[in-house]
Amino acid sequence: MRTPPPPRPQQPGCEGPNGPSGPDGPDGPGVVSGEPVDPDVDLHLPQQRAELTAHPFAVLGAVAVGGALGAAARHGAALLWPVPAGAFPWSTLGVNAVGSGLIGVLMVLVAERGAGHPLVRPFLGTGVLGGFTTFSAYAADVAGLLTRGDAAAALGYAAATLAAALGAVWAAAAATRRLVRRAAPPAPSGRRGDAR
């Protein structure tokens, strides 16, 4: 019989709304600041580590196909919303904000409703939405604005993109969480779940 691995030390700043979280915290394994980092796999459990190595090509294939679809969607958005040379890169900012919001929705659905299939998150999250969002173009846009000598626009764009992406993922996750809780069947006592 195998003994479980020793508990990992609590990292500073990894506290959820109920105090310290993580493998021994009240929020459970893989939870940092109240949100699951990876709801599918806890690499500290040998059985779950084995899941990753059992079918690595299925995961790689799901990510590759999803990434191709996401990149094609991003290219389509650039064609529908072209930005003239030298103009502020609104389309990249919009794509990153929308993609980040969709990632927030996906992570709540995977964590709180269950993914349904182990390839859902790699296909949609890492693949489609990872291919759709474009932080490499974001970095190139910042560099382009700096090269043109427009430091104020570069700084504004860098800050606006980060704020929009983080705000979108937070707002979308919070809204999705409320909708999921509202749609949940009533508790046995007849009360509905907390709809914070």
Question: Does residue 68 sit within a domain?
Answer: yes
Question: Does residue 13 sit within a domain?
Answer: no
User: What is the three-state SS of 94-133?
Assistant: HHHHHHHHHHHHHHHHHHHHCCCCCCHHHHHHHHHHHHHC
Domain interval for residue 158: 56-183
* Rounded Cα distance, 142 and 151, in Å: 9
Question: Does residue 80 sit within a domain?
Answer: yes
Read off the pTM: 0.69
pLDDT digits (tens, 9 = 90+) for 12-35: 444 444 444 444 444 444 444 454
* Rounded Cα distance, 82 and 161, in Å: 18
pLDDT grade for 51, boundaries at 50, 70 and 90: low
Question: Does residue 149 sit within a domain?
Answer: yes
Question: Does residue 148 sit within a domain?
Answer: yes
pLDDT grade for 81, boundaries at 50, 70 and 90: very high
User: How many distinct structural domains can be found in the chain?
Assistant: 1
* Rounded Cα distance, 167 and 101, in Å: 8
